[in-house]
């Protein structure tokens, strides 16, 4: 009798627990402001210290996201749900850096330091002064600092910035960066570059921290203090401050041999850091569609403590850059969508893949790595939805939606689902944008990108959790769920259509001169060349015969090894000019003639 009563009690308790579970699931099924708040406040907390790619905070964020998806019923796409890859972490000057003039040695980090794009090389040679290091011939500027100057196998000392330093707009903008000047000196035959700041440009004459974005240009490049430059110039009786004033005033080149011989060695240490994407799958509910996928993605990395070279908009402030909107908000929305899919029967005949990307702030590194090393069949992806900065919905209720032109039916799907009394959509066709969906668009996958837009706290320590509009996030995330549910359920696959790069994203390239009309591989997945991840129809590259996937190795016979080479070469060209472009296509060398 006791056993029978115990069995009855167990059955009754199990029934109560099951009912409680159902009630609990039903309450969690809805997207709530409280849960969004919990996700954002943790990810944007002091303990994660800004989630810098490859940092402990970045790792804690990945664990949090993985564990939350596990609790919803998602399963790892591989291993424990992490896709590991490496990125450049710390970059610093090695112990082998040296500089000596007239047999006197000078001190690293006090008198000089190597630049991030320097090679690890020793050079002992004469020094020539080449003004601002320009060789410009166009309608607005004629300026050649190298005319009648022999720089072959020599150090070239160059002023930083340009003569328009006090003007709101510079005629020299497209060629006044340190890297452009170094590449030009190398083109002219120099085997080493010394860069120095004039007093007008930088009265404090500070040696800036190294920037990890650059790659080696294969010759030594060293930043020297003004007093070191004056020592090199001592035989000429001139000083950097005077030369800067003279050139700025006359607006004419002034170059000459200094008569000084120097010896220097540069060494750059690049430490690699491990990071990881989180990739989790909720298997589809219908056998005929479960091998197809809908990807919902968002990046979780941010800027850490900020500082020079971090892309912080307050680079002089070293403080936690919380990244509540960018992009704890996108991750929070992704986790709420994941939970709702898991608890809504019939919502996902296709499999749902949630991917939290690292390395977005360093150039879409995580999404690039995934699309180059996919854990699922890319050909079976119906669409990729990217969530980036969803936390600042304003009173106007405007939600930005990009990618509507990347599939034949996409715009109609969006319009049929939206209730304009709740959200006002700003819809753009372009599939290429400043976030992780671009990596998927480059693989001919339909994409949608959702954002509530930029604000003054963007990339500053002021992007904090208390400024997030959580009720607004509920509206936005609920709308995205309806879109995602349709894309996960509709038996008819989307058909990819090309909708080229937006004008906003081309702005940086346009500032540097003309473009071929390609989306270049910014992540540098190809070594010793630059891959065209997209070729825009009707633009010069397309008209000249370039194909998506071609690897550009030279322009007008001058080598292209990476994005910085490409941007530099394009900055030297003129509209209407016909150029020859060497490309590798399926390991075959092809020469293209392209008119700009």
pLDDT at 1: 43
pLDDT at 507: 35
Can you tell me which residue has the tokens 């702005």?
A: 507
Give the Cα-Cα-Cα angle 37, 40, 398 (nearest 5 degrees): 80
Domains of the chain: 29-88+272-489 (3.40.630.10), 95-266 (3.50.30.30), 508-595 (2.30.42.10)
Decide if pLDDT at 197 tops 90. Answer: yes
Return the minimum-mean-pLDDT range out of 200-209, 476-485, 566-575. 566-575
Decide if pLDDT at 82 tops 70. Answer: yes
Decide if pLDDT at 504 tops 80. Answer: no
pLDDT at 501: 57
Q: What is the pLDDT of residues 87-100, one digit of tens each?
A: 988 899 999 999 99
Task: Please give the residue that has the higher pLDDT: either 456 or 267.
Answer: 267
Q: What is the mean pLDDT of residues 63-74?
A: 98
Task: Please give the residue that has the higher pLDDT: either 310 or 154.
Answer: 154
pLDDT at 147: 96
Task: Please give the residue that has the higher pLDDT: either 174 or 161.
Answer: 161
Q: What is the pLDDT of residues 100-123, one digit of tens each?
A: 999 999 999 999 999 999 999 999
Decide if pLDDT at 442 tops 60. Answer: yes
Decide if pLDDT at 221 tops 90. Answer: yes
C-alpha torsion 70→73→77→81, nearest 10: 0
CB 380 within 8 A of CB 290: no
CB neighbours of 104 closer than 8 A, spacing ≥ 6? none
Nearest to 55 by CA among 345, 433, 321: 321
pLDDT at 340: 98
Q: What is the pLDDT of residues 10-56, one digit of tens each?
A: 344 344 333 443 444 444 679 999 999 999 999 999 999 999 999 99
What percent of the chain shows pLDDT beyond 70?
Answer: 93
C-alpha torsion 561→563→566→571, nearest 10: -150
- Considering 212-221, 250-259, 507-516, the range whose residues carry the highest mean pLDDT is 250-259
| pLDDT interval class at 307 (50, 70, 90) | confident
CB neighbours of 74 closer than 8 A, spacing ≥ 6? 280, 281, 282, 338, 342, 352, 354
Nearest to 135 by CA among 144, 126, 123: 144
What percent of the chain shows pLDDT beyond 90?
Answer: 77
Q: What is the pLDDT of residues 133-170, one digit of tens each?
A: 999 988 889 999 999 999 999 999 999 999 998 887 88
Beta strand extents in 283-428 (DSSP E only): 293-299, 351-357, 381-387, 398-402, 424-428
The predicted model scores a pTM of 0.80
Q: How far is CA 248 from CA 144, 161, 199, 201, in A?
A: 14, 11, 12, 11
Decide if pLDDT at 460 tops 60. Answer: yes
Q: Which residues are bridge partners to 387 per DSSP?
A: 450
């Amino acid at each position: 009798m006791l056993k029978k009563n115990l069995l009855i009690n167990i059955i009754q308790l199990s029934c109560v627990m099951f009912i409680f579970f159902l009630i609990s699931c039903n309450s969690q099924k809805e997207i709530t402001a409280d849960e969004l708040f919990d996700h954002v406040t943790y990810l944007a907390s002091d303990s994660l210290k800004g989630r810098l790619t490859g940092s402990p905070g970045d790792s804690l964020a990945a664990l949090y996201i993985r564990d939350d998806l596990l609790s919803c019923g998602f399963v790892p796409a591989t291993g424990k749900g992490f896709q590991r890859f490496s990125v450049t972490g710390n970059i610093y000057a090695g112990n082998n850096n040296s500089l000596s003039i007239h047999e006197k040695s000078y001190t690293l980090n006090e008198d000089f330091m190597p630049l991030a794009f320097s090679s690890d090389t020793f050079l002992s040679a004469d020094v020539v002064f080449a003004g601002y290091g320009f060789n410009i011939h166009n309608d607005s500027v004629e300026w050649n600092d190298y005319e009648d100057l022999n720089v072959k196998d020599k150090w070239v000392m160059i002023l930083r910035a340009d003569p328009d330093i006090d003007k709101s707009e510079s005629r020299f903008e497209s060629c006044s960066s340190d890297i452009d000047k170094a590449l030009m000196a190398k083109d002219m035959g120099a085997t080493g570059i010394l860069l120095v700041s004039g007093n007008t440009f930088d009265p404090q004459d500070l040696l800036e921290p190294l920037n990890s974005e650059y790659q080696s240009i294969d010759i030594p490049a060293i930043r020297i203090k003004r007093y070191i430059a004056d020592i090199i110039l001592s035989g000429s009786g001139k000083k950097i401050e005077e030369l800067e004033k003279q050139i700025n005033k006359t607006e004419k080149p002034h170059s000459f041999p200094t008569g000084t011989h120097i010896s220097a060695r540069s060494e750059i240490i690049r430490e690699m850091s491990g990071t990881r994407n989180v990739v989790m799958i909720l298997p589809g509910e219908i056998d005929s569609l479960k091998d197809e996928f809908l990807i919902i993605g968002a990046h979780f990395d941010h800027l850490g403590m900020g500082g020079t070279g971090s892309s912080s908009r307050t680079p002089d402030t070293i403080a936690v850059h919380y990244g509540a909107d960018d992009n704890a908000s996108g991750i929070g929305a992704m986790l709420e969508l994941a939970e709702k899919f898991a608890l809504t029967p019939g919502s996902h005949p296709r499999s749902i893949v949630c991917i939290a990307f690292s390395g977005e702030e360093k150039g879409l590194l995580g999404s690039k790595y995934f699309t180059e090393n996919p854990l699922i069949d890319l050909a079976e992806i119906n669409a990729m939805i990217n969530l980036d900065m969803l936390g600042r919905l304003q009173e106007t209720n405007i939600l930005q939606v990009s990618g509507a032109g990347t599939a034949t039916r996409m715009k109609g799907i969006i319009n049929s689902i939206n209730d304009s009394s709740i959200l006002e959509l700003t819809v753009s066709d372009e599939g290429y944008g400043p976030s992780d969906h671009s990596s998927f668009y480059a693989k001919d996958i339909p994409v949608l990108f959702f954002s509530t837009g930029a604000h003054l706290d963007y990339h500053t320590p002021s992007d904090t959790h208390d400024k997030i509009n959580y009720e607004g996030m509920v509206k936005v995330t609920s709308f995205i769920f309806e879109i995602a549910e349709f894309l996960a359920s509709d038996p008819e696959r989307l058909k990819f259509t090309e909708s080229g790069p937006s004008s906003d994203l081309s702005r940086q390239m346009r500032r540097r001169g003309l473009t071929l009309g390609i989306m270049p591989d910014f992540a540098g997945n190809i070594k010793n060349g630059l891959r065209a991840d997209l070729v825009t129809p009707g633009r010069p590259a397309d008209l000249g015969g370039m194909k998506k996937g071609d690897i550009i190795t030279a322009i007008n016979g001058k080598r292209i090894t990476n994005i910085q080479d490409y941007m530099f070469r394009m900055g030297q060209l003129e509209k209407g000019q016909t150029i020859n472009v060497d490309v590798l296509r399926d390991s075959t060398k092809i020469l293209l003639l392209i008119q700009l």
